[in-house]
Amino acid sequence: MRTLAGMTATVASGLDEVARSNAALRAFLHGLPGVDQVGADQRAAMLGTRSIKTTAKAWALDLAIRMVDLTTLEGADTPGKVRALCAKARRPDPEDPSCPPAAAVCVYPAMVGVAAEALDGSGVHLASVATAFPSGQAPLDVRLAETEAAVRDGADEIDMVISRGAFLAGRYLDVYSEIVAVKQACGDAHLKVILETGELATYDNVRRASWLAMIAGADFIKTSTGKVSPAATLPVTLVMLEAVRDFRAATGRQVGVKPAGGIRTAKDSIKYLVLVNETVGEDWLHPDWFRFGASSLLNDLLMQRTKMSTGRYSGPNYVTLD
Amino acid sequence: MAFEYAPAPESRSVVDIRESYGLFIDGEFADGAGGRIKTVNPATEEVLSEVVEADAADVDRAVAAARRAYDRVWGPMPGRERAKYLYRIARIVQERARELAVLESIDNGKPIRESRDVDVPLVAAHFFYYAGWADKLGYAGFGPDPKPVGVAGQVIPWNFPLLMLAWKIAPALACGNTVVLKPAETTPLTALAFAEICQQAELPAGVVNIVTGAGETGRLLVEHPGVDKVAFTGSTEVGKQIARSVAGTRKRVTLELGGKAANIVFDDAPIDQAVEGIVNGIFFNQGHVCCAGSRLLVQESIADDLLAALKRRMSLLRVGDPLDKNTDVGAINSAAQLERVRQLSELGTSEGAERWSAPCELPERGFWFAPTIFTGVSQAHRIAREEIFGPVLSVLTFRTPAEAVEKANNTPYGLSAGIWTEKGSRILAIADKLRAGVVWANTFNKFDPASPFGGYKESGYGREGGRHGLEAYLAK
């Protein structure tokens, strides 16, 4: 019998139980209620029509800025580029001291040392992708060593990728074990687990991968690397939010959610905040529990923020391009 | 800190409501001989306008105008020419969509999100769809050269005023009939706006006539000897009166009446979407929907979890100003309807069902009712049998698929039903056994002009929409 009650009881009785074998893990994940794609798309689209104006918009823009993981993940990244980004994260709007800082800067492991120095004392978190980002196709010991190096150099958040190959092949226990191992390598650093939902394809898979990551100890679940299209979408984020909501109800542990990739406008980011508000509620409306993985989004948020206070669009020449 | 949505009202300035309206007969607005009735905004009780209560002489004139137009212009006109007018009407509806949506929300009380995203787009879609049929009637399966029936007398309800008008007028006109339509007494304004659209589209005079009024005007129209075809959407009680009154006459009748639909949720359902479907099934349009999923049949093994999820979701419903773009549930259409919803709900409590209402602040003025569910309902309770036509859901449980089917069918109605399961074979097996005109699978309250709609049993007869919807307006 596939029931929510059964599901809840299983998890509450102990997560180890669920992960004792691949068969047990498979039975659990496939016992989760299905996701009807048409219905999920429809719900996300309806929430996308919410009209957020005036005071609500001003509040949402500031919150969105505080939730940005300002990201640069290019082969062309240099220390200079990373330092500029860190300065931007600390003080996104140089002309307005009331503008809050971003949540974090997100860089490749090789850039962590530079970023750690640039962010020192700012309160802005330092996230690093690790585990052979974006494909994850490297031996486990290499991925663990990369994670350890990033933490050692000063990252307090690690964004790992799961092995989509193993997940799609049904080797759930392998995926689980890898997440557990990376979590251990993180030490005190927070672990965000990237599902790469664009490659998982179905919402049923997104829900299963979300639970798998949470059972294995993820502090955050994240949609995408940004290197695969489609990246974050509203319905995928909806399914993940439902998963963290149900997981907390079942276990008492709260897990964060991070959509990443493709969120470029303030308007889009507000749609995500509405989704959070009407799916999991205000407990998640905080940078500790919801983040945007983005780069160009921040400037649009700043332009909209200035427009709210001055009544005019300042234009792209008045925000910094880093 | 919580995320409080600031008010986001749609502007009323796009509509221009006149102090009073006449009848639309023979292409012109004209004063009626009858008395006047007031139409109010159910969200504020503000009087919006006065319309005519058409009397026998008015109905006579309207039917005569429709007959003339049928004999001289519209009946003989080739289908491809009629289609041009219907396309034109559809486009004007799209152009005036915002105005029509605001007007509908003001007069009816439904949220602007629904009138804007559901009602008005579907109105345009119906005219586009039937415009396409006008020159292809010979291929519709009703003979090689089917003829129109003549003059249609059409009486529509207040829950989807403009959409029901479109369901009635679009197929009638496409088939070459002319119409006299009576909108509901509490919601006449969009029908009168539609009359202006007919003028704007230069539709020949008399093809569409709008007579406003209450039940007596409707009776006069339905019983008028010059009417060849009667189409009615409304209560089963009035539907039965109409069926009696036209018995023994040459008139053809289609009736789309009440419902008490079962929304059946199996234990393998996609739970989150099922919760959305339940909410959409009963709280869409304040539950003023003849095909509303007003009986939730949930498999006992998941009932507690599902109800917890449903209550959590209902707590998020935003009840209030229909013109606010973030409103989910608007006002009850009239004081009389509110009284009926209240009475039946009190009956539910007194019969022993447990009542739960979503916590929400209701405005002081206007007609309001909080979204409500009753649990512990049995088949013997009146709230499980009678159509409440409001935001009130009765929850029953079942143990096996056979029991679900038995309970779902155990009603005098049979308009619609819903099935929620991830198992495709179960959808087919259950749908086959449900005695309901529309069965939705893993969705609810989905409408499309290409899909026929109509009832079994006391939910009426005849089909509207799709190819099937042509049949009522074509002579064999």
- Which of B1, B271, B326 comes nearest A50 by C-beta? B326
Chain A residues touching B270 at Cβ < 8 A:
33-36, 39
Q: Would you say residue A4 has pLDDT above 80?
A: no
Cis peptide before A230 (omega within 30 of 0): yes
Give the pLDDT mean for B141-151: 96
pLDDT in tens, B295-334: 999 999 999 999 999 999 999 999 999 999 999 999 999 9
Contact residues on chain A for B267, CB-CB shorter than 8 A? 1-3
Adjacent-strand bridge partners of B299? B398
Q: Let me know whether B358 and B464 are in one domain.
A: no
Give the H or E element holding residue A146: helix A140-152
Q: Is A300 helix (H, G, I), strand (E, B) or coil?
A: helix
Contact B273/A242, CB-based, under 8 Å? no
Contact status of B278 with chain A (Cβ, < 8 Å) = no
Residues B305 and B213 in one domain: no
Fold of A37-310: TIM Barrel (3.20.20)
Kindly state whether residues B252 and B283 are assigned to the same domain.
Answer: no
Residue range A6-27: mean pLDDT, rounded: 72
Q: Tell me: do B201 and B239 sit in the same domain.
A: yes
Give the chain A residue nearest B275 (alpha carbons): A39
Q: Is the pLDDT of residue A245 over 70?
A: yes
Percent helix, strand, coil in chain B, to 5, is 40, 20, 40
- How sure is the predictor about A313, in pLDDT bands with cuts at 50, 70 and 90? confident
Q: Which residues of B touch A52 (CB under 8 A)?
A: 5-6, 8
Alpha helices, DSSP H, located in A67-139: 79-90, 112-119
- Chain B residues with CB under 8 Å of A50 CB are 5, 325-326
- Contact between chains at A274 and B1 (C-beta distance less than 8 A): no
Beta strand B474-475 with B147-148 is: antiparallel
How much is the pLDDT for A9? 39
Domain membership flag for residue B4: no
Please check whether residue B3 lies inside any domain of the structure: no
Q: Do A40 and B443 touch (CB under 8 A)?
A: no
Classified as helix, coil or strand, B452 is coil
Picking from B266, B271, B311 by the largest number of A CB atoms within 10 A of its own CB, the best residue to mutate is B271
The shortest CB-CB distance from A3 to any of B4, B277, B302 is to B302
What would the pLDDT profile of B453-471 be if each residue is shown by its tens digit? 999 999 999 999 999 999 9
Q: Is the pLDDT of residue A10 over 60?
A: no
CA-CA distance, B53 to B79, in Å (whole number)? 34
pLDDT at B355: 98
- B56 and B201 share a domain? yes
- Give yes or no: residues B211 and B64 share one domain: yes
Question: What distance in Å separates residue B117's CA from the closest CA in chain A?
Answer: 10
Q: What is the mean pLDDT of residues A75-79?
A: 97
Contact list in A for residue B268 (CB cut-off 8 A) is 2, 33-34
Q: At B1, is the pLDDT very low, low, confident or very high (cuts 50, 70, 90)?
A: low
Q: Is there a single domain that holds both residue B171 and residue B293?
A: no
Residue A14: per-residue pLDDT: 63
The answer to whether the CB of B172 falls within 8 A of the CB of B152 is: yes
If asked whether residues B24 and B82 sit together in one domain, one would say: yes
The letter for the amino acid at A56 is A
C-alpha triplet B346, B347, B351: angle, nearest 5°:
120
Confidence of residue B71 (pLDDT cuts 50, 70, 90): very high
Q: What is the pLDDT of residues A176-202, one digit of tens each?
A: 999 999 999 999 999 999 999 999 999
Sign of CA dihedral B194, B200, B201, B204: positive
Residue B7 lies in a domain: no
With CB atoms and an 8 Å threshold, state whether B267 touches A282: no
Structure confidence by residue, pLDDT tens digits, B227-280: 999 999 999 999 999 999 999 999 999 999 999 999 999 999 999 999 999 999
More confident residue, B128 or A95: B128
Per DSSP, A286 falls in state S
Q: Does B426 touch chain A (CB under 8 A)?
A: no
At A13 the pLDDT is 44
pLDDT score of A133 more than 60:
yes
pLDDT in tens, B32-67: 888 999 999 999 999 999 999 999 999 999 999 999
User: Per the CB < 8 Å rule, is A33 touching B271?
Assistant: yes
B382, B470: one domain? no
User: Measured between CB atoms, does A42 come within 8 Å of chain B?
Assistant: yes
Does B310 lie in the same domain as B196?
no
CA nearest neighbour of B90 among B212, B200, B210, B204: B200
Between B20 and A11, the higher pLDDT residue: B20
Q: Which residues of B fall within a CB distance of 8 Å from A270?
A: none
Whether residues A53 and B3 touch (CB distance < 8 A) is answered with no
- Of residues A309, A306, A273, the one with CA closest to residue A291: A273
**What per-residue confidence (pLDDT) applies to A7?**
42
Residues of A recognised as catalytic: 159, 222, 258
Average pLDDT over residues B71-100: 98
Q: How confident is the model at residue A320 (pLDDT cuts 50, 70, 90)?
A: confident
Please determine, for residue B2, whether its predicted confidence score (pLDDT) is greater than 90: no
Tokens of A95: 């002309």
Domain of residue B352 covers: 262-441
Q: Does A278 touch chain B (CB under 8 A)?
A: yes
Is the pLDDT reported for residue B156 higher than 60? yes
- 3-state SS, residue B176: coil
3-class SS at B28?
strand
Do residues B424 and B461 both lie within one domain? no
Mean predicted lDDT score pLDDT of chain B: 97
What is the average pLDDT across B369-377? Answer: 97
Mutate to test the interface with B, among A38, A41, A51 (most CBs of B within 10 A): A51
Kindly list the domain boundaries of chain A, sorted by start residue.
Answer: 37-310
**Residue A59 forms contact with B (CB below 8 Å):** yes
Q: What is the pLDDT of residue A3?
A: 41
Q: What is the pLDDT of residue A322?
A: 78
Q: Which of B5, B272, B273 sits opposite A56 (nearest CB)?
A: B5
Residue B395 identity: V
Tally of domains within chain B: 2
User: What pLDDT, on the 0 to 100 scale, is given for residue B406?
Assistant: 98
Same domain flag for B248 and B267: no
| Nearest CB neighbour to B5, from listed A1, A36, A50 | A50
CATH number, residue B209: 3.40.605.10
**C-alpha dist (Å) from residue B419 to B210, B239, B267:** 39, 28, 11
Q: How far apart are CA B434 and CA B456, in angstroms?
A: 10
* Residues of B whose CB is below 8 A from A55: 4, 6
Provide the shortest C-alpha distance from residue A45 to chain B (in Å). Answer: 11
What's the pTM? 0.95
DSSP assignment of A9-58: HHHHT-HHHHTSSHHHHHHHHHTSPP--HHHHHHHHHHHTT----HHHHH
